[in-house]
Amino acid sequence: MRTEQPKMIYLKDYQVPDYLIDETHLTFELFEDHTLVHAQLVMRRNPDAGAGLPALVLDGQQLELLELKLDDRVLGAADYQLTDSHLTLQPTQEQFVIDSSVRIHPESNTALEGLYKSSGMFCTQCEAEGFRKITYYLDRPDVMSTFTTTLSAEQHRYPVLLSNGNPIASGSEEGGRHWATWEDPFKKPAYLFALVAGDLWCVEDRFTTMSAREVTLRIYVEPENIDKVQHAMDSLKKSMKWDEEVYGREYDLDIFMIVAVNDFNMGAMENKGLNIFNSSCVLAKAETATDAAHQRVEAVVAHEYFHNWSGNRVTCRDWFQLSLKEGFTVFRDAEFSADMNSRTVKRIEDVAYLRTHQFAEDAGPMAHPVRPDSFMEISNFYTLTVYEKGSEVLRMIHTLLGPQLFRKGSDLYFARHDGQAVTCDDFIKAMEDASGVDLTQFKRWYSQAGTPRLEVSESYDAAANTYRLQLRQSCPATPGQAEKLPFVIPLELALLDAQGRELPLQLVGEDKPVGTSRVLQVTQAEQAFTFVNIAEQPLPSLLRGFSAPVKLSFPYSRDQLMFLMQHDSDGFNRWEAGQQLAVQVLQELIGQHQRGELLVLDPRLVAALRSVLENDSLDQAMVAEMLSLPGEGYLTEISDVADVDAIHAAREFARAQLAEALFEPLWARYQANREVSRNTPYVAESAHFARRSLQNIALSYLMLTGKPQVLAAALEQYEACDNMTERLTALAVLVNSPFEAEKAEALKAFAEHFKDNALVMDQWFSVQAACTLPGGLARVQALMQHPAFTMKNPNKVRALIGAFAGQNLVNFHAADGSGYRFLADQVISLNATNPQIASRQLGPLTRWRKYDASRQALMRAELERILASGELSSDVFEVVSKSLA
Ligand code: ARG
Ligand code: ZN
């Protein structure tokens, strides 16, 4: 908790560390009611930091100092100063050794930062600033040290003792205790430290690297989960192979370990050689995890593994550079997933997520650049902007340079900076040096916040056979940034003729066409491109593959969008045309609802989706994506003032109308796919994901018709399926239906069957929390009393409270403010136990500017109430105060 108002920390104030730590030797004595930590730090003056011997200021929080030595001399209270965040002492030589002993209390650590206990095991989470809750240290990423770690614990309760690097010794002690020593030869910052002690089982495998070294792979889980590890192990081996093939990156230690823990604030953590994962990102098997969960496990395993190079071997100089490792690693894992599954579907999912959530962040009070220039609490900056927009920035560099030069740049980056803590500028410099491309203006993507708008208009000159695209870019003001300079926007496009064929693209001044799909660089506020030898009025296919994270506008008619849906050779843009058509139709319905008119659905949307459904040559996953209407969250994001009730009513009306009009083809598709599912054992592969996704979206439409044969089908699928993907969808359609008896029965049967599986119960909570039928808040409040629910477990908080506030918009935004009051109560309670989770739940309240005056007042009042509620963590204080500013 804060004792005074948290201070803002600025990138411009960065200074190199006064001292360095060459070696770190740690000993942990783990007990039930406390832990003793002894740290020996071999230190020296930083030669880059100037002359003299300034005071040494070590970070340390919530530590009980038992003993402190400088070069074997025990220091007395007069020899150092202690505050609740620092230990300061005066070195007398350039090189010295600090020994400290502290007592800490992992057994009562509910913030899940530093050393803590989860389901009886000891584990750590040090990124970003958790290591200072373990021992006194220079807890900053530009201080890199080798680590030797010895841990001792009761043998019976904690048979497995792990830390980073390679195991070098172990033994038993009297009193039923044992110990193990691990050595990590690679220099690393403290945020990559990890320790685990518990009663764990592991699945072991091997990987032979490109230079024929043998690596042992182990995934540790609680014994009852040992049957849910194979998918993560397969994903790990694929990731190791892919990083060798695509980036030339080889693994460097003899052993790579993953440990699954149940209580974890985030998804996973890339600690050197010892990744610690939220169990939701490791455990997956057909009966308990959905297709989406399987794909998430594959992606997160890859992400953390890829960090071994993009993050660990080359790390960040300071936390403002977080996107250096996160944006790059998200880009790497996205490309990996695209290669393992369907590239177009992966892109569609990522873009839909970015536009709904990151664009909202970029338009709200917490908007910040990919490389922020200030923060109060770094935990608040593990954001969609740093991660997902950061990945889009890397993708644009990849697009501008092309794959070969990009690879040359990444090779140079890793070679040049191996073992160093560097900046985003260093990354860009390596890309520039390897490619010869000047990225000076491009770097504005790192420093300017906000989502650029790109307005495009056209003019065709039939006499001259020229076609001109006129572009205008702008970017709205964001906190602290009133004016923006033009970005470099890679705009991939094609021009289609009346048959949907791509025309050769030749710009004025070029002596011949350069392909039929190409990337133009938009660099000015206003700019025009004129194509020559264009014999008929073309239809442009713009921003193919979403080549830049911008809001594009072009005055397409609905008929033109339908044409693009059918003919665009870029799969992403076929989907995008369908989304834009649906947005136009839904916005029309929203207007009708607001004016109190009868809702009338444009039959062109029905016709467009009918032709998608009847097209057997389309990838089934694409059919499923094209049938998915833009979500309420996205419709909110693109509204000036979001009318929650009109958005919900319009979208539900459209879905119901589509279900009636397309009943026949939906039912045919559903039955055909369910038939295959019934006769095929579960396989976690892309063609099977595709079949089930179409089957499941068809079922969710069909259920809206309320026909008895659909209810029977949902019940059959619910009872007879062999996997969680089909079961959970069947449960969800029942929960959202008016069939009260069947719904109650299914919910009860599900909970009885899965009551001992926490991850499955999370899904059970989420399905109910997201149910938009009236009475949502009361259902959520009742579920908080369920024995399987606890506020102490972040997954539970996300599953129930997060799903309610983030997905159940019509209930959360109830006009009486009850949803807001509820969320504020939960934030106030979490602030005292787990500030990171408290702060993350605030997201929906920070978006108050999107709503009508009455809701704005209610939302602000709740933010004010949180601010006045007592001692706030820096996490919650920063978000609330910035939201009200
Ligand atoms: N580096 C981790 C990852 O992206 C995330 C850790 C975030 N931890 C935190 N306390 N914010 O893979
Ligand atoms: Zn990461």
Judged against a pLDDT cut of 70, whether residue 350 lies above it is answered with: yes
3 state SS of 677: helix
Backbone conformation region of residue 102, classed left if phi is above 0, alpha if psi is from -120 to 50, else beta: beta
Question: Residue 269: phi, psi to the nearest 5?
Answer: -140, 135
List Cβ<8 Å contacts ≥24 apart for 674-683.
674/713, 674/717, 677/721, 677/726, 678/720, 678/721, 681/286, 681/722, 682/286, 682/722, 682/723
Residue of 266, 271, 387 to mutate, ligand 1, most atoms within 8 A of C-beta: 266
Instruction: Centre a 10 Å sphere on the Cβ of residue 286 and count the other Cβ atoms it contains.
Output: 20
Angle at which helix 874-884 crosses helix 818-833, to 10 degrees, equals 150
Mean pLDDT for all residues in the chain: 98
**pLDDT tens by residue, 79-99:** 999 999 999 999 999 999 999
pLDDT at 4: 65
Query: What is the CA(579)–ligand 2 centre distance, in A?
Result: 30
Q: Distance between alpha carbon 175 and the CA centroid of its chain, in Å?
A: 45
Q: Is 738 exposed, middle or buried (0-12, 13-18, 19+ CB in 10 A)?
A: exposed
329 lies in the same domain as 455: yes
Angle at which helix 724-735 crosses helix 291-306, to 10 degrees, equals 120
640 lies in the same domain as 599: yes
771 lies in the same domain as 846: yes
Contact 624, 690 (CB under 8 A): yes
- Average pLDDT value for residue range 752-760: 98
Nearest CA to ligand 1 atom 5: 269
Domain boundary among the residues 729, 763, 788 is at 729
State the ligand closest to the CA atom of 271: 1
Decide if 735 is inside a domain.
no
Specify the pairing of strand 73-74 against strand 121-125.
Answer: unpaired
Decide if 278 is inside a domain.
no
**Which parts of 377-517 are beta strand (E)?**
421-422, 453-461, 466-474, 489-496
pLDDT at 358: 98
700 lies in the same domain as 767: no
Query: What is the CA(817)–ligand 1 centre distance, in A?
Result: 33
CATH code: domain of residue 182: 2.60.40.1730
Q: Could you give the dihedral angle defined by the CA atoms of residues 238, 243, 245 and 248, in that order, rounded to the nearest 10 degrees?
A: -150
Is 304 an annotated catalytic residue? yes
Assign 115 a pLDDT band (cuts: 50, 70, 90).
very high
Specify the pairing of strand 64-70 against strand 160-163.
Answer: unpaired
Contact 614, 667 (CB under 8 A): no
Number of structural domains the chain divides into = 4
Domain boundary among the residues 199, 220, 250 is at 199
CATH code: domain of residue 474: 1.10.390.10
3 state SS of 309: coil
Judged against a pLDDT cut of 80, whether residue 43 lies above it is answered with: yes
For 802, residues 6+ apart whose C-beta sits below 8 A from its C-beta are: 840, 841
Give the residue numbers spanning the domain of 33: 9-199
Q: Residue 388 has what DSSP assignment?
A: I
- What residues form DSSP beta bridges with 380? none
- Average pLDDT value for residue range 681-701: 98
User: Hey, what are 289's tokens?
Assistant: 């995890």
Give kind and range of the element (H or E) at residue 340: helix 322-340
Judged against a pLDDT cut of 60, whether residue 331 lies above it is answered with: yes
Query: What is the CA(252)–ligand 2 centre distance, in A?
Result: 19
Nearest CA to ligand 1 atom 8: 127
37 lies in the same domain as 184: yes
Residue of 309, 382, 384, 388 to mutate, ligand 1, most atoms within 8 A of C-beta: 382
Q: What angle do CA 660, 666, 667 make, to 5 degrees?
A: 95
Of 113, 222, 298, 304, the active-site residue reads 304
CA distance 66 to 773: 58
- SS3 of 567-614: the string is HCCCHHHHHHHHHHHHHHHHHHHHHHHHCCCCCCCCHHHHHHHHHHHC
ipTM of the complex: 0.98
Percent over 90 (pLDDT), the chain: 99
- What residues form DSSP beta bridges with 198? 160
Q: Distance between alpha carbon 718 and the CA centroid of its chain, in Å?
A: 30
User: Hey, what are 869's tokens?
Assistant: 């509620």
Decide if 216 is inside a domain.
no
- Average pLDDT value for residue range 478-485: 98
Residue of 123, 127, 387 to mutate, ligand 1, most atoms within 8 A of C-beta: 127
549 lies in the same domain as 570: no
CA distance 848 to 857: 8
Atom of ligand 1 nearest to the CA of 378: 11
- What residues form DSSP beta bridges with 129? none
Decide if 308 is inside a domain.
no
CA-CA-CA-CA torsion sign (630, 633, 638, 639) = positive
**pLDDT tens by residue, 361-415:** 999 999 999 999 999 999 999 999 999 999 999 999 999 999 999 999 999 999 9
**Which parts of 71-213 are beta strand (E)?**
73-74, 80-82, 86-89, 95-104, 114-118, 121-125, 145-154, 160-163, 166-172, 177-188, 195-198, 201-208
Nearest CA to ligand 1 atom 1: 269
- Average pLDDT value for residue range 129-148: 99
503 lies in the same domain as 605: no
539 lies in the same domain as 595: no
CA distance 797 to 497: 52
Query: What is the CA(222)–ligand 1 centre distance, in A?
Result: 23
Half-sphere exposure of 117 (CA within 13 A, CB side): 18
Query: What is the CA(762)–ligand 1 centre distance, in A?
Result: 21
Domain boundary among the residues 516, 531, 553 is at 553
State the ligand closest to the CA atom of 128: 1
Cis peptide leading into residue 111 (ω within 30°):
no
**pLDDT tens by residue, 386-398:** 999 999 999 999 9
Query: What is the CA(493)–ligand 1 centre distance, in A?
Result: 36
| C-alpha dist (Å) from residue 123 to 31, 259, 270, 307, 387 | 13, 9, 14, 20, 25
Contact 309, 414 (CB under 8 A): yes
Nearest CA to ligand 1 atom 2: 269
Assign 871 a pLDDT band (cuts: 50, 70, 90).
very high
Atom of ligand 1 nearest to the CA of 113: 10
CATH code: domain of residue 806: 1.25.50.10
Contact 113, 131 (CB under 8 A): no
CA distance 731 to 767: 8
User: Hey, what are 792's tokens?
Assistant: 């102490």
505 lies in the same domain as 623: no
Q: Distance between alpha carbon 613 and the CA centroid of its chain, in Å?
A: 32
DSSP-derived secondary structure for 805-820: HHH-HHHHT-TTSHHH
493 lies in the same domain as 591: no
pLDDT at 5: 81
Decide if 290 is inside a domain.
no
- What residues form DSSP beta bridges with 205? 217
For 565, residues 6+ apart whose C-beta sits below 8 A from its C-beta are: 574, 577, 578, 581, 608, 612, 626
**pLDDT tens by residue, 249-282:** 999 999 999 999 999 999 999 999 999 999 999 9
Ligand 1 pocket residues where CB is under 6 Å:
127-128, 265-266, 268-270, 303-304, 326, 379, 382, 836
Decide if 293 is inside a domain.
no
Atom of ligand 1 nearest to the CA of 326: 4
Decide if 590 is inside a domain.
yes
558 lies in the same domain as 517: no
Nearest CA to ligand 1 atom 3: 269
Q: Could you give the dihedral angle defined by the CA atoms of residues 690, 696, 697 and 699, in that order, rounded to the nearest 10 degrees?
A: 150
Decide if 507 is inside a domain.
yes
pLDDT at 125: 99
Specify the pairing of strand 274-278 against strand 166-172.
Answer: unpaired
**pLDDT tens by residue, 152-185:** 999 999 999 999 999 999 999 999 999 999 999 9
Length of the chain: 885
C-alpha distance across the termini of the chain, in Å: 22
Atom of ligand 1 nearest to the CA of 304: 12
539 lies in the same domain as 572: no
